[in-house]
Amino acid sequence: MIVGIGIDVTQVSRFSEAVARTPGLLDKIFTPAEHDTSMQRMAGRFAAKEAFAKALGAPTGLVWTDVEVRKDEAGKPFFSCAGTVAALVAERGIATIHLSITHDAGIASAVVVCEA
């Protein structure tokens, strides 16, 4: 049963500008393993985290670094959850989290579906 759906679209140039003007922003949002030299991929990960928060109902108190966007051996993205995010996932009875990320033409977007 689907318990949450989220989608987010991020303009790569706008994300890049926010990173440039806000010292420490990348460390606030991403774990060290998520840091990348490609702003396009970073914007995609940001969109994924935003979409996930929306699928969870956009609760307050979530820590950005308690969810990490990773890739399996085939390159498929998935979330690794800890702390505040893992607690909310358990509380909501979420068993499966589907994630899709894309980026093209200066836009990064992500869709998340949470199933019980």
Residues annotated as catalytic are: 54, 103
Name the residue among 60, 61, 58, 34 with its Cα closest to residue 46: 34
Give the single-character DSSP code of 65.
G
